[in-house]
Amino acid sequence: MSIVHTAEDIDVQREFNELLNNCQRCDKRGDKAIIRKAFKVASDAHRGIRRKSGEPYIMHPIAVAKIVNHEMGLGVKSIVCALLHDVVEDTDYTIEYIENHFGQKIASIIDGLTKISGVFDNKSSFQAENFRKMLLTLSDDVRVILIKLADRLHNMRTLESMPAQKRMKIASETIYLYAPLAHRLGFYSIKTELEDLSLKHRYPEIYAELSEKIKQKEKTYQSFIEEFSAPIKEQLNKNRINFNIDGRYKSIYSIWHKMQTKNVPFEEIYDLMAIRIVFEATADIPEKTQCWNIYSMITDIYMPKPERIRDWVSTPKANGYESLHATVMGPKGHWVEIQIRSMRMDEIAERGFAAHWKYKQNNNQESELDKWIKRIRELLQSPQSDALEFLDDFKLNLFSSEIFIFTPKGEIKTMPVGVTALDFAYEIHSEIGHKAIAAKINHKLLPLNHLLKSGDQVEIITSDKYQPRHEWLNKIKTAKAKTSIKTYIKAETKNRIEKGRKILEEKLNELKLKPSSRIFKKLIPYFELTNKEELYSKIATGIIQLDNLKKILKKNTKNKLIRYWGLQFSKSSSKKSEEEEEEEPKIPVELSNTSTILLKENIDPEDSEYTIAKCCNPIPGDDVIGHKNASDEIIIHKINCPNTLKLMSSQNEFIVQAKWTTHKFLSFLVRVAIRGTDRFGVYNEITTVISKQLNVNIRTINLASHDGIWEGSIDLYVHNTKDLNNLILNISKIKGVDSISRVENTG
């Protein structure tokens, strides 16, 4: 009986044959056989299934395999994985089946590509969790990410068939994460296409308008390229250099992005095109030298713009990109960008990571791309419990703008623009970061929050007495620094909680009692806390004393704490069964001005549900109130703040009572104004009292002397008004200090 093939079957077979016949690295016996085997499994698994576009689903894995092979230059295992990448996720086939028929390595890659569902809590982002699982395979095989990029690229190429809302979600996800990831892995052409396709689906009218404007300029630019290139070609031929020269338009996305950032119309974008010269390097001269020789030939013809030279042949970008960029004045007064690179450099620029590994076989030196992957692996060793938080931290590592920082010994560290000296400390080693107190930048002593510039030489000053603080999270940019600090703080908090738990159990044991929900329901409201972890923590640090524990437990209280957005409100409750009382109440209550917000001390300040008003800068101990703004945020003001009076008179229904709990871990910035008569050693006495006797951290001191009188201000970190009042009292006793007072409004 003959098998009848439909027109669709013929189309599918033709696409697969094209993949197989153009396989660039199918040079071993059995390579094509395993690809055919993977195709058959995928065809059987997806039989009868169609994409939104109406075409057979198997066309998608074939297309992804083509991208992996033709556009990325990956090998046989990657082609097999691309063909099978949706089999386990969408069909009844299992990872065990893949491992039995294709081996452990292919099964591992497929597992990394397989989405997960039903495992994580509802608050987690499905895409974030999926992406984190995929990244975990970086510790084994980076091909997972490369195949995922190919999968995303084909989905973007066929996005028209999806509903509008789905298109917007996928396009936004692509520009946020996948395009920067492609750039970081060195796939410039894929990154550019992802950016353009994302713009096309997010802003179709803008995309169409820019496309039309570029099309209208094509003929004009083509003649300009020929005129500009003619003398360069002549000079290169005269020097017997084998080369290729062409003109390329900037991508539509990069033009649009420049219009947005520079706030200029299309007509004022003058560098729409770049001229690229790709030459065949000779073995006897270093490639870098050949790049500069060609640059010299060009500048003999056209005048260069010195400040627009970009030398990525001496110091390649972190994604492995090497090229020499220069801008010269061309005919008719037009500035033209020229890119000069060897064929090897060009292949790495276009094919990124795959080409990087191809050429690395002859050079075992660790590249910036290797270092980046190592940093991601370190990040994955201590992933955060919140997938979205992890995704944000990972995004920090996808920087496209880089600076180069030197260690005291001259070693180069590649870092993103906008990093501080504290980021650099953690880049060297987490232990250096934990103990950092200051930095010498170009031999000048500066604070840790000082922004670094490319070319800075940085030495970190450390002290064994220092340790990470919560406020450091506001001074850093890199994921490595943020992860290290959070890990340290969480470990310290865990230790503190465990210590407090043991202390409480010992005290209860003296009373012949054991910890129970009944005991906690007396202790937590009594100390105005939020949960038993906070109780343990404050017992461990001595903030809460248990000398009157017996008296507290004898008290009869009917108040319970009910959670509202993580803030705590006091509300009476009726008696419940023992089973119900074992669980913490989770019933939300409506905000009213009769409720009292307890301003708790958060373990992670980023999770704080209220914001301190900058206009009056209240600290624990100040009389305060809360104001619920239009965004449903609670803003905490001092009672005597001028804005408070205004809010109470005009928006009283949004005012709520607020009360501090005891704060000892978080520090608050305050300013004191100080004045006195000049005498020898007075400044030293003031700083000694603050730093050594009272153990308060100084941020800045600004004192000036004139005609025997000195005055100024000191910014410092305190825990509460008790600390501040104690400090003011001690400083006022110093001989020569005439007056000292808190500056109420520093915002």
As a whole number of Å, the end-to-end CA separation of the chain is 86
Return the sign of the alpha-carbon dihedral for residues 626, 628, 632, 636: negative
Can you tell me the distance from the alpha carbon of 725 to that of 731, in angstroms, rounded to the nearest whole number? 10
* 71 tagged catalytic: no
Asked if 471 is an active-site residue, the reply is no
Question: How many CA atoms within 13 Å lie on the side-chain side of 52?
Answer: 10
According to DSSP, the residues that pair with 714 across neighbouring strands are: 672, 701
Pairing outcome for strands 737-742 and 273-279: unpaired
Cα four-point dihedral sign 217, 219, 220, 223: positive
Q: Which of 90, 392, 581, 744 is flagged as catalytic?
A: 90
Catalytic annotation, pick one of 18, 89, 160, 633: 89
Q: Which pair of structure tokens corresponds to residue 115?
A: 């989405």
SS (H, E, C) 11-60: HHHHHHHHHHHCCCCCCCCCHHHHHHHHHHHHHHHCCCCECCCCCECCHH
Find the angle CA(465)-CA(468)-CA(474) to the nearest 5 degrees: 140
Complete DSSP assignment for 165-227: HHHHHHHHHIIIIIHHHHHHTT-HHHHHHHHHHHHHHHSHHHHHHHHHHHHHHHHHHHHHHHH
Residue 697 φ/ψ, nearest 5 degrees: -85, 130
The C-alpha atoms of residue 113 and residue 95 are separated, in whole angstroms, by: 11
CA dihedral 636, 639, 644, 648 (to 10 degrees): 110
CA quadruple 562, 565, 569, 571: dihedral, nearest 10: -40
Identify any residues that bridge with 337 across adjacent strands, giving them in sequence order: 274, 327
Q: Is 450 helix (H, G, I), strand (E, B) or coil?
A: coil
Cα separation of 737 and 247, whole Å? 72
> 96 Cβ partners below 8 Å, 6+ apart?
107
So which residues are the catalytic ones? 89-90
